[in-house]
Amino acid sequence: MATAHRVPPAPQPQLYRFSALDVVAMILYVALAGFFTVAGDLLAPFLRQIAPTPAAASYAINLLFYASVGILAFVAARRVVWRDLRVLATRPWFTLLMVPAAVVAMMILSAIAVAASGNVETSENQAGLQALMQQVPAWLMVPLLVVVGPFVEEFIFRHLLIGKLSRRVNIWVCCVLSVVLFAALHIVGQEELTLTVLMPYLAMGATLVFVYVWTGQNLMFAYFVHAAKNLLAVVFIYAIPPEFFEQLEQVPV
């Protein structure tokens, strides 16, 4: 990728100061993630009483989690969102070409990481999503996995941990922190932490960090790459028969 096509942000440093909404969104994200991880099994009997199926209960929890944080995240980052969209709109061909290119690069890097780490091993997060997608229609999963989920994660792990935190901490430290915490989020609850499970998420996080920094900390470009990758994974899982799911285990969502 040539630096001549870099998409620089507008010089608005005030947009990268932490706000009260940023703090609230971060606290809510961590609190809800921790609560559902620790108390998920305790909530299961109650949810079965109010939801028609376990799949519906699981979907409702995920939607509630991401929607509540997503609303706060959008309000907190709305000025950055509009600015970054305007920047990308000035170079539409860059966006149209580089988003798919970044997704392909991410898939290649993830495949290399999986091959280098040994046998394919599915994280509990990935297995749970695949099981949920077998029971919930695509038109319900797309808003969750393609629209809301990627925006929340890019807001937390790129916009806050790199875009804003780098005003106080070395940017390379922020980048490493972003990659590691992003991977850790996706293996929370894993009974046994292994390099095989961790590597695909590290590769995905590293790619998203790279495109975010490379485009001048453009939140929406990183979001489009993340959303496009998730959309591709969703299409694969719904289009391919269940007996072939194990072949997609190296494509983390």
Q: What is the pLDDT of residues 84-103, one digit of tens each?
A: 999 999 999 999 999 999 99
pLDDT at 130: 74
Q: Which residue has the higher pLDDT, 195 or 167?
A: 167
pLDDT, tens digit (0-9, with 9 covering 90-100), for 174-189: 999 999 999 988 877 6
pLDDT at 171: 95
| Average per-residue pLDDT for the chain | 84
pLDDT, tens digit (0-9, with 9 covering 90-100), for 31-81: 888 777 766 666 666 766 776 777 787 888 888 889 999 999 999 999 999
Residue 193: is its pLDDT beyond 70?
no
Tell me the pTM: 0.87
End-to-end, the C-alpha distance of the chain in Å comes to 25
Classify 122 in phi/psi space as left (phi over 0), alpha (psi -120 to 50) or beta: beta
In sequence order, the 6+-apart residues with CB closer than 8 A to the CB of 39 are none
Q: Treating both helix axes as pointing N-terminal to C-terminal, what angle do 171-185 and 195-214 enclose, rounded to 10 degrees?
A: 140
Residue 214: is its pLDDT beyond 90?
yes
- What is d(CA 38, CA 203) in angstroms, rounded to the nearest whole number? 27
- Could you tell me the CA-to-CA distances from 82 to 14, 75, 116, 218 in Å, in that order? 15, 11, 40, 11
Range 102-119 average pLDDT: 84
H helical segments located in the chain: 20-50, 54-89, 92-117, 124-133, 138-142, 149-154, 171-185, 195-214, 219-239
Locate the domains of the chain by residue range. 16-248
CA 112 to chain CA mean position, Å: 20
Name, of 54-58, 204-208, 234-238, the range with top average pLDDT. Answer: 204-208
pLDDT at 1: 46
How confident is residue 239, by pLDDT bands cut at 50, 70 and 90?
confident
